Structure 1
Amino acid sequence: SKTFTTQETITNAKTCRDWLVTRLGEAATPFHFVALSTNTKAVAEFGIDPANMFQFWDWVGGRYSLWSAIGLSIAMAVGYEAFEQLLAGGHAMDEHFRTAPLDSNMPVILALLGVWNGNFLGAEAYAVLPYDQYLHRLPAYLQQLDMESNGKGTAKDGARVTWATGQTVFGEPGTNGQHAFYQLIHQGTRLIPCDFLVAARTHNPLGEHHTLLLSNVLAQAEALMKGKTEAEARAELEAAGMNADEIAFQLPHRVFPGNRPSNMLLYPRLDPFTLGMLIALYEHKVFVQGVLWDVFSFDQWGVELGKVLAKAILPELTSSGPVLGHDSSTTGLIEAIRQMRQ
């Protein structure tokens, strides 16, 4: 925890400490905990030896922090050599972003496409679609990176913006998403640009599995781009032997408008270096869009109000006294929860 005050993190840490103390005693705490924080005082008060504290700069935001000491858990999970490769991949993308001309600069191009799709074509969301199970949590990771960074309605000068900023980010690994929400992307009334991510080679060469996966991701991108015309759909239905009435009924539903934008991020094989490049690519994309939208991408005041209100509500959930100081909806919900927990 950067501040060592984040409610969820400290609650979990206290639960772990209580479990440890009941078995090994209070004196064991300093020998079984390490902390990653900027708050030495709070770490020591918790019972962790500051010598076991990994510090990092106080200007490092949480959603950009995996490159710092916060990445300790990554190093522990995959080994320090792999973690260094992750860092190297991020650095390679940093250097590309810093030195590449704008017309071949991947983060800049990705950012400009997002602004074009959102501010000029009216897209309010974009889908991140990794055709790689190892990246199944990447869409959720990018949700925070993108939406917490650029989901702002105030410009840097304090004025309300008069243009759209930020987009809803969602996604699932293929081909799961194909059987869930691709219908809306292909034929729905909302424009949803897509980022496809796929490796040419797999870590798990099992039969034709990966070749099938590749054929699916390429087919989806082609279908989004080209669609299917009414003439093409009619020819298919006629070839299937349908009569005129059946064709007339089904034809409107078989047309795909096409012209749905997508990006294809293709890489040889997923490894720590490539993952580092991908994460840094999206980080720089978000930064560029923040510059274009004139918003602060490195704060998150939108999450603060809920935290403050939660502190006021917390004791009221276990109190038997009257609920005061809330709107009627929140008051009714607190009273309903009390009743259900009796």
Structure 2
Amino acid sequence: MRPKGASAAAWSQLGAAVEALGQRRTPELFAAEPDRVERMSLEAAGLYLDFSKQRVDAAGLEALWSLAQSAQVTDHLRQQFAGDAVNFTEDRAALHMALRAPRNAHQPPGGPAIAEAVHEVLDRMEAFVHRVRSGAWTGATGEPITDVVNIGIGGSDLGPRMVCEALAEQVRGPRPHFVSNVDATELSRVLAGLRPASTLFVVTSKSFGTAETLANARSARAWLVDALGDAAVAKHFVAVSTAAERVSDFGIDVDNMFGFWSWVGGRYSLWSAVGLSIALSLGMDGFRALLAGAHAMDAHVRDAPPEGNAAVWMALIGIWNTNGLQLPSQVIVPYAQALARVPAYLQQLEMESNGKTVNSDGVAVQQQTVPALWGDVGTNGQHAFFQMLHQGPTALPVDFILPVSLDHGHPDQHRMLIANCLAQSEALMQGKSAGQVREELRSQGLSGQALEDAVPHRVFEGGRPSTTILMSCIDARSLGALLALYEHKVFVQSVVWGINAFDQWGVELGKQLASVIDDELRLAVPGEHDPSTAALLHRIVDGRTAEG
């Protein structure tokens, strides 16, 4: 069953709720609803989510539940867990939940055969990880592996890189490094700090044909061969792929190839063998804890009714802001340096999944789908873009992600971090009126025209929406739950919008044209293009010719 999206009547109800809300600010909603925090907060898989600072009232929430009901969100979630082809343009399931279901799971996602295949790969990963971390696997010269370089791009990079950075303090094995950009500057900088004899490369590409990944892998291979010879490749390269022939042609022993399946989309793949670099760095226990946290969130999303379902809340509040209040972007602000790459990870997850212009019938969508998503860590963001969040002409919703405890030995600084996070969300919601500003300036000795001239610049509109997500700490389990929460949010939104969250045809056109232009640059013979691209190509080629 393809998602048809919410009904016209449900969208109309949403519009009416927005109109009825009018200009009411969030502090007014708190005053009218004494139990607002209790009604708009919930716990799921160890996370605590507070939606009460969102600018939505009871009628708005009722309209959102109607939207979810009319889109049959519960049925579509059930289909996804069952392994139905929810990726309908490619006739595939989207069963990343199966990757993190425990071996003894009752009714595992997709069924027992898929569960068996998943755990077979996990067992192979575990054996390999143990050999590397114990020193039984050595490089060509007999040295143990001290550094692992993951070469991939997109989902084959963003997830493992983000997790390894988030959990860096828990790394007890080889040091993880990541190379994704075809700009060889990244590869050169990584290799500059490494020794060939103790470095293991993990080339991550399902097809083993991704142009950027293979360019970096070939350059890394040349660096290794230059130092240790061709025979060393098999001891210093492994693959996460399904293309055995291509892997073998590269010089990698196919016994050291770890596969995954067509139902694992790239941006949902860190839970699969794509997470091999995570497991090598954290150990298999750490990787399994990550899976366990995600599975706990899966179980919550599968079993909780919509009104108590964290992912449904996340999805519907986002729809309220995007389609109801017409807010153009979503800001992600983790108050933890360890989570610095979470905004970039979520950019791919959300915008590659739901950045679509046609619905399941191939007809142009009637609503905006995914908003632009961006952000940075607090408190850095406070000294960069928070000015716009507080006083810019357009309100932008913020997700604050806050670990309650951090084990870095500096409790006073973590207390300051918490204080800043809570203060920012409160300030965005409460604002500061002209009357409050006048009283404050008078107490500082300002009066007359100077006071009146100063007032407009110090007024904060307030009523600016935010959600706060509390994590008890940053460990593998909590991180797994957080990431799975956003995954399910994305799917629920796609169902309401009636689009496919699991294809990404928009990525392909530019890649196809890049291949053509690359050949033209190599031959120094520009082909037929639009006037702008043709002029740029000629300028670049002519400039190179002149330098040569």
Does the alignment reach a TM-score above 0.5? yes
Other-structure match for 1:48 = 252
**Equivalent AA in structure 2 for residue 264 of structure 1:** T
Equivalent-residue separation in structure 1 for 2:447 and 2:309 (angstroms):
53
2:494 maps to what in 1? 290
CA distance in 2, matches of 1:59, 1:310: 27
Alignment partners' CA distance in 1, 2:540 and 2:212: 21
Note if contact 1:122-1:191 (Cα within 8 Å) is conserved in structure 2: no
- Report deviation, 1:138: 0.3
Query: Which residue in 1 is equivalent to 2:131?
Result: none
For the residue of structure 1 that corresponds to 2:212, the secondary structure is helix
Matching residue of 2:482: 278
> Match of 2:294?
90
**Matched residue, 1:77:** 281
Alignment counterpart, residue 421 of structure 2, candidates 217, 231, 236:
217
CA distance in 2, matches of 1:178, 1:10: 39
How do residues 46-195 of structure 1 correspond to structure 2 at under 5 angstroms?
46-195=250-399
Give deviations 1:266-313, integer Å, cap 9, x for gaps. Answer: 122111100000000000000100111111100111110000000011
1:37 alignment counterpart: 241
Segment of structure 1 superposing worse, 13-22 or 174-183? 13-22
Greater shift, 144-153 or 328-337, is seen at 328-337
State the SS of the aligned residue for 2:331: strand
Q: Which residue of 1 aligns with 2:9?
A: none
Deviations 1:98-140 (A, max 9, x none): 0112111111100000000000100111111000000001000
- Rounded to whole Å, the distance in 1 between the matches of 2:501 and 2:283 is 31
* Distance in structure 2 (CA, Å) of the matches to 1:42 and 1:155: 36
Residue in structure 1 matched with residue 449 of structure 2 by the alignment: 245
Which moves more between the two structures, 110-119 or 252-261? 252-261
Indicate whether 1:335 and 2:528 are aligned: no
Specify which of 299, 316, 340 is matched with residue 520 of structure 2: 316
**Does the 8 Å contact 1:318/1:338 carry over to 2?**
no
Residue 259 of structure 1 and its aligned partner are, at CA, apart by 0.8
1:55-93 CA-to-partner distances (Å, cap 9, x unmatched) read 111221110001111110111122211111111000000
- Deviation for aligned residue 1:315: 2.2
| Deviations, residues 133-155 of structure 1 (Å, cap 9, x unaligned) | 00001000000000000000011
- TM-aligned CA deviation for residue 167 of structure 1: 1.0
Q: 1:199-247: CA deviations, max 9, x gaps?
A: 1111113151011111110000001111111111111111111121111
Structure 1: any 5+ residue segments left out of the alignment? none
- Residue 253 of structure 2 aligns to which amino acid in structure 1? D
Q: Does 1:17 align with 2:221?
A: yes
How well do the aligned residues superpose, as a CA RMSD in angstroms?
Answer: 1.2
Is 1:226 aligned to 2:430, yes or no?
yes
In structure 1, C-alpha distance between the alignment counterparts of 2:488 and 2:425, rounded to whole Å: 24
Equivalent position SS for 1:298: coil
Question: For the residues of structure 1 that align with 2:524 and 2:417, how far apart are their CA atoms?
Answer: 57
- 2:508 alignment partner, SS class: helix
Asked if the contact 1:132/1:174 (under 8 Å) is kept, the reply is yes
Query: Contact 1:125–1:193 (CA<8 Å) still a contact in 2?
Result: yes
Q: 2:466 matched to 1:236? A: no
8 Å CA contact 1:38, 1:58 repeated in 2: no
Structure 2 vs 1, CA of residues 207 and 89 (structure 1 numbering), >3 Å: closer, same or farther? Answer: closer
| One-letter amino acid of the counterpart of residue 290, structure 1 | S
| 1:202 matched to 2:406 | yes
Partner Cα separation in structure 1 for residue 516 and residue 335 of structure 2: 44
SS of 1:34's equivalent?
strand
Retained in 2: the 8 A contact 1:128–1:172?
yes
Task: Confirm whether residue 27 of structure 1 aligns to residue 27 of structure 2.
Answer: no
User: Does the 8 Å CA contact 1:126/1:192 hold for their aligned counterparts?
Assistant: yes
1:163-207 alpha-carbon deviations (Å, 9 max, x no partner): 110111111100000011111111111221000011111111315
> Matched residues in 2 for 1:313 and 1:5: separation?
18
Distance 1:156 1:46 in 2: 40
Unaligned runs of at least 5 residues, structure 2: 1-204
Following the alignment from structure 1 to structure 2, what is the Cα–Cα distance between the partners of residues 98 and 310?
Answer: 41
Give, in whole Å, the separation in 2 of the partners of 1:185 and 1:51.
Answer: 52
The count of aligned residue pairs is 341
Q: Quote the Cα distance in structure 2 between the aligned partners of 1:271 and 1:187.
A: 35
Q: State the match for 1:304 in structure 2.
A: 508
Counterpart of 1:257 (choices 450, 457, 461) is: 461
CA distance in 2 between partners of 1:194 and 1:176 (Å)? 15
Pairing partner for 2:529 from 322, 326, 336: 326
Please give the secondary structure, in 2, of the residue aligned with 1:72: helix
Letter in 2 for 1:135: L
